[in-house]
């Protein structure tokens, strides 16, 4: 027992003090924040210059409607605009992103106009031109020309705006009362409320973010610490430390000590992240609230942290034992990296499963996925966050995971005790099978 503790302690102190630990602890959350806010930032940068569009309005009626539809409810000009709209406008680019110019076409041929506009487009005088033929009201066919067609967001905005303008115009022509049109155009105010055992709460997309975050953190931590186990095992094999250690401790003690030690490092890091996240969240919310921006966090019950820890540990041990087995078979770190690909694939799949599972957490597929030990950590946790399954399912999933861990530990110990002393070449599958049998 003293020996096991000594191994765990060494593993923990050495790793927590290592530069690598500090770097990942700081960098990973930063990277995630970057992932979360980068798209919005990038869009803001790109929308620096408004798009200059020349409109050839053959109908003579649609352009004003198009303008109102696109720039009309200009949030920036309205100090009273509510925060949500303002926040939206940041995420989706500024509202007054478009400058329209109407081209008078009296008596000119279509080809002539197009030729002129194309020249202006090439000379970068304008960014796009839109042709609304006179029979647009009947055919619903418009033409849009621009230099950069990969900016799907603007293109889609214009199309949607034109759609709206066309519909309104048709209604007007059908002699529908303008007030009725206003009513027809009002889009639905969609308020989502999550009903769970704990009660009801408003949800503005926070839950999805939470599911994603949970799945991602779970995946990245298991991957990170699985790789650390792999590296640690290979190091002890490559440097022949295992041989010295085996003269003092049983291989099984060394292996379990290693797995436990690294798991404690992982828990240390997760705790740091958890506390930091909670701190930032509380601080951020209070700042937003004090500035008059009412914000609420999706409430995370305490039990959830317990579930996260338990399922993280289950997943960690499932994958870490596989990594340890692999590490004891291969001879170098490079070889280990290549051989680990199937394990990584399994992990990546388990991460992406958060999508189907979160959409349909109660389906049979979700149920079975959360019972497979390789997928259980992410799948079951996503289910718990979205729509907590009955307790027996959670318990069953855990029991299956823990049984798998026990079986894998047994298997790995058999391979490990021989593999760690085999130098020179990577063991073949039949060899490994023989080690397990003896």
Partner 1 sequence: MTSNPNNITVKVDRVSKSFGDFTAVKDLTLAVRAGRIFGLLGPNGAGKSTSIRMIVNITAPDSGSIELFGQKINSRIQDRIGYLPEERGLYKSMKVGEQLRFFAQLKNVTGKDALQRIDTWLDRLKLSEWKQKKTRDLSKGMQQKIQFISAVLHDPDLIILDEPFSGLDPLNVELLTDVVLNLKRAGKTVIFSTHAMDIAEKICDDICLINRSRKVFDGSIREVKKSFGRNLIALRVEGTNGNLAASRLVSNVEHHSDEMEVLLATNADPQEFLKELIASGAVVTKFEMIEPSLHDIFIEKVSETQ
- Hey, what are 345's tokens? 């694939």
C-beta of 3 vs 52, nearer to partner 1: 3
Name, in order, each residue with C-beta under 8 angstroms of 233's C-beta and a sequence gap of 6 or more.
Answer: 258, 323, 324, 327, 328, 416, 420
**Number of residues in contact with partner 1 under rule CB under 8 A:** 22
Q: At what angle do helices 391-419 and 429-437 cross, to 10 degrees?
A: 100
Maximum Cα–Cα distance across the chain = 99
- Decide if 362 contacts 335 (C-beta within 8 A): no
Least Å distance between CB 241 and partner 1?
4
Q: Is 83 in the site for partner 1 (CB under 8 A)?
A: no
Kind of pairing between the strands at 192-196 and 143-146: unpaired
- Output 90 or 421, the one with its CB closest to partner 1: 421
The region of 204-212, 232-240, 299-307, 326-334 touching partner 1 under the rule CB under 8 A is 232-240
Distance in Å, CB of 14 to partner 1, minimum: 7
The structure tokens 């900016």 sit at 151
> What would the x/- binding string for partner 1 be over residues 12 to 31, using CB under 8 A?
--x---x-------------
Q: Which of 68, 65, 70 is nearest to 51 (CA)?
A: 70
Nearer to partner 1, 21 or 273 (CB): 21
Among 2, 138, 150, 338, binds partner 1 (CB under 8 A): 2
Q: How far is the CB of 251 from partner 1 (least distance, A)?
A: 9
Phi then psi for residue 53, to 5 deg, are -125, 130
Can you tell me which of 7, 136, 314, 382 binds partner 1, judged by CB under 8 A?
7
**Region for residue 94 given its phi and psi (left: phi exceeds 0; alpha: psi -120 to 50; beta: otherwise):** beta
**Which C-beta is closer to partner 1: that of 10 or that of 296?**
10
Shorter beta-carbon distance to partner 1: residue 227 or 397: 227
How far is 425 from 429, CA to CA, in rounded Å? 12
**Smallest Cα–Cα separation from 300: which of 277, 267, 283?**
277
Closest CB 124 distance from partner 1, rounded Å? 58
Spell 63-84 as b/e; 16+ CB within 10 A means b.
bebbbebbbeeebeeeeeeeee
Report the site for partner 1 in 138-167 (rule: CB under 8 A): none
Least distance in angstroms from the C-beta of 415 to partner 1: 15
Q: Give 198 or 244: the residue with its C-beta nearer to partner 1.
A: 244
Residues between 236 and 295 with contacts to partner 1, criterion CB under 8 A = 236, 239-250
* Nearer to partner 1 among residue 157 and residue 237 (C-beta): 237
Q: Does 332 bind partner 1 (CB under 8 A)?
A: no
Smallest separation, CB 23 to partner 1 (Å): 15
Name the nearest CA neighbour of 89 among 106, 107, 109, 75. 75
Give 7 or 415: the residue with its C-beta nearer to partner 1: 7
Does 436 bind partner 1 (CB under 8 A)? Our answer is: no
Kindly tell me which of 167 and 250 has the beta carbon lying closer to partner 1: 250
Closest distance between partner 1 and the C-beta of residue 248, in Å?
4
Closer Cβ to partner 1, 258 or 383, answer by number:
258
Task: Tell me the pairing of strands 98-102 and 51-57.
Answer: parallel
Q: Which stretch binds partner 1 (CB under 8 A): 34-42, 157-165, 167-175, 233-241?
A: 233-241
The torsion of the CA quartet 79, 83, 87, 93, rounded to 10 degrees, works out to -30
Q: Confirm or reject binding of residue 421 to partner 1 (CB under 8 A).
A: yes
- List of residues 6+ apart from 388 with CB closer than 8 A: 196, 197
426 binds partner 1 (CB under 8 A): no
- The H or E element containing residue 209 is helix 206-238
Please state the closest distance from residue 239 (CB atom) to partner 1, in A: 5
What is the closest distance, in whole angstroms, from the C-beta atom of residue 2 to partner 1 in the complex?
6
Asked whether 353 and 343 are in contact (CB, 8 A), the reply is no
Q: Which residue, 180 or 248, has its beta carbon nearer to partner 1?
A: 248
User: Is the Cβ–Cβ distance between 408 and 386 less than 8 Å?
Assistant: no
Task: Tell me the residue length of the chain.
Answer: 438
Nearest Cα to Cα of residue 66 among 49, 83, 53, 80: 53
Instruction: In angstroms, give the least distance from the CB of 419 to partner 1.
Output: 12
Residues forming the site for partner 1 (CB under 8 A): 2-3, 6-7, 10, 14, 18, 236, 239-250, 421, 423
């Amino acid at each position: 027992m003293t020996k096991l503790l000594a191994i765990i302690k060494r593993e923990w102190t050495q790793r927590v003090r290592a530069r690598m630990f500090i770097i990942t602890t700081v960098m990973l959350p930063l990277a995630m924040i970057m992932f979360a806010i980068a798209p919005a930032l990038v869009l803001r940068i790109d929308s620096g210059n408004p798009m200059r569009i020349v409109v050839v309005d053959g109908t003579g009626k649609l352009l004003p409607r198009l303008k109102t539809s696109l720039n009309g409810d200009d949030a920036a000009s309205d100090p009273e605009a509510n925060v949500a709209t303002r926040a939206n406008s940041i995420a989706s680019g500024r509202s007054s992103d478009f400058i329209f110019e109407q081209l008078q076409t009296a008596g000119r041929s279509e080809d002539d106009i197009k030729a002129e506009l194309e020249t202006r487009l090439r000379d970068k005088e304008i960014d796009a031109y839109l042709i609304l033929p006179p029979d647009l009201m009947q055919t619903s066919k418009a033409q849009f020309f621009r230099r950069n067609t990969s900016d799907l967001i603007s293109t889609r905005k214009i199309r949607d705006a034109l759609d709206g303008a066309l519909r309104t115009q048709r209604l007007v022509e059908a002699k529908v009362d303008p007030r009725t049109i206003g009513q027809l155009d009002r889009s639905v105010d969609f308020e989502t409320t999550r009903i769970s055992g704990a009660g009801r709460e408003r949800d503005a997309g926070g839950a999805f973010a939470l599911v994603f975050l949970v799945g991602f953190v779970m995946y990245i931590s298991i991957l990170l610490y699985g790789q650390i186990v792999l590296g640690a095992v290979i190091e002890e094999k490559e440097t022949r430390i295992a041989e010295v250690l085996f003269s003092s401790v049983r291989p099984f003690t060394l292996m379990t000590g290693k797995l436990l030690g690294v798991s404690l490092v992982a828990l240390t890091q997760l705790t740091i992240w958890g506390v930091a996240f909670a701190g930032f969240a509380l601080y951020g919310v209070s700042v937003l609230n004090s500035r008059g921006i009412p914000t609420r966090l999706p409430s995370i019950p305490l039990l959830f942290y317990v579930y996260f820890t338990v399922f993280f540990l289950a997943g960690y041990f499932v994958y870490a034992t596989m990594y340890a087995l692999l590490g004891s078979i291969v001879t170098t770190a490079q070889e280990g990296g290549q051989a680990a690909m199937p394990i990584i694939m399994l992990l990546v799949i388990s991460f992406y499963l958060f999508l189907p599972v979160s959409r349909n957490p109660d389906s049979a597929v979700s149920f079975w996925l959360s019972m497979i030990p390789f997928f259980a950590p992410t799948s079951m946790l996503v289910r718990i966050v979205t729509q907590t399954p009955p307790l027996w399912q959670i318990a069953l999933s855990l029991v299956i995971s823990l049984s798998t861990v026990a079986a894998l530990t047994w298997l790995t110990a058999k391979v490990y005790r021989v593999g760690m002393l085999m130098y020179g070449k990577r063991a073949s599958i039949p060899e490994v099978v023989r080690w397990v049998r003896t």
